């Protein structure tokens, strides 16, 4: 017998999500089913599938599961967390505009504002290589991490904001093959759990342009965690100021703030409910 599963489609700056709750319904999922649903021609189409579950942690209101379009489960998605919280509020699962959500590796706080903006406290950045995880070593000559592709060296920073990020500073996107470089670095042996790849162009000390190749998805219009990781990289390299940084992405702008090294990172941007629907399994 077929089962009807209800969902909502939401997006932030073109980074789109299917969100469904497993509180009142029972969605039995598999990686192959998720991959099928993510197909933009034969399925619903999405960058990530987000599932609402009850939290067993007294400090969190809900548990938040994240699956990439290829069916793999991950531990973090900044834009997804903001859409997730807005979904909980507009569907009546939470009456509070400040919601705490638990992922597989951290608890985050989300504030829903009245002007369609949602702010996420994504937590503190992680630099411990074992926790990212990352197994490369800095080159003694350049004192930087780099990966070589077709005799060209790509220098980068690595960190985690709940998921691994590789941040490259670029000057010109015209001759940059995001798909080729992104997919190569994403699956490189330096990153045991793969990585998101961020291509950052500095516009001034308070603004960057960013293109992101997300692991398990490919290039997306926007990425909240990528915006956070890139701003942290820019600040640590003394290229960006410790102020509110405007992150310009293909889908629009996010605002990221990281005041001190031991502080949490805050990312703010718009969230939109696109439509509700259902499918049968």
Contacts of 266 (CB under 8 A, 6+ apart): 119, 120, 121, 122, 256, 257, 258
To the query of whether residue 264 is one of the catalytic residues in this protein, the response is no
> Dihedral sign, CA of 212, 216, 221, 224?
negative
Residue 69's nearest CA partner among 220, 211, 194 is: 220
* Residue whose C-alpha is closest to residue 88's, from 52, 123, 50: 52
Instruction: Kindly name the residue from 77, 83, 166, 264 that is annotated as catalytic.
Output: 77
How far apart (Å, rounded) are the C-alpha atoms in residues 147 and 139? 10
Q: Say whether 223 is catalytic.
A: yes
Count Cα atoms within 13 angstroms, Cβ side, for 55.
18
**Token pair belonging to 70:** 């290829």
- CA separation for the pair 185, 167 (Å, rounded): 11
In whole angstroms, what is the distance from residue 163 CA to residue 68 CA? Answer: 12
Question: What span, in angstroms and rounded, lies between the C-alpha atoms of 77 and 271?
Answer: 14
Q: Do 220 and 232 contact (CB within 8 A), yes or no?
A: no
CA–CA separation, 73 vs 62, rounded Å?
17
d(CA 183, CA 179): 6
Among 28, 83, 166, 223, the active-site one is: 223
Backbone phi and psi for residue 92, each to the nearest 5 degrees, phi listed first: 85, 10
Rounded Cα–Cα distance for residues 212 and 111 (Å):
25
Active site residues: 77, 223
């Amino acid at each position: 017998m077929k089962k009807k599963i209800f969902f909502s489609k939401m997006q932030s700056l073109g980074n789109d999500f299917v969100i469904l709750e497993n509180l009142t319904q029972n969605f039995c999922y598999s990686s192959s089913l998720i991959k099928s649903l993510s197909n933009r021609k034969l399925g619903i189409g999405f960058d990530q599938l987000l599932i609402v579950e009850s939290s067993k942690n007294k400090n969190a209101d809900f548990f938040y599961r994240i699956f990439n379009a290829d069916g793999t489960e991950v531990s973090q998605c900044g834009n997804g967390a903001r859409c997730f919280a807005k979904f909980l509020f507009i569907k009546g699962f939470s009456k509070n505009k400040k919601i705490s959500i638990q992922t597989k590796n951290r608890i985050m706080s989300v504030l829903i504002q009245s002007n369609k903006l949602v702010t996420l406290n994504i937590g503190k950045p992680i630099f411990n290589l074992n926790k990212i995880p990352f197994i490369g070593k800095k080159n003694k000559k350049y004192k930087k991490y780099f990966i070589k592709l077709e005799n060209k060296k790509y220098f980068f920073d690595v960190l985690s904001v709940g998921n691994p990020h590789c941040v490259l500073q670029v000057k010109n996107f015209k001759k940059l093959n995001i798909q080729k470089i992104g997919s190569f670095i994403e699956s490189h042996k330096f990153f045991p759990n793969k990585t998101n790849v961020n291509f950052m162009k500095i516009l001034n000390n308070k603004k960057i342009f960013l293109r992101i190749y997300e692991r398990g998805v490919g290039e997306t219009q926007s990425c909240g965690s990528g915006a956070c990781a890139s701003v942290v990289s820019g600040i640590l390299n003394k290229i960006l100021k410790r102020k509110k940084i405007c992150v310009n992405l293909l889908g629009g702008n996010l605002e990221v703030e990281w005041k001190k090294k031991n502080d949490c990172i805050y990312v703010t941007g718009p969230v939109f409910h696109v439509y509700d629907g259902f499918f049968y399994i």
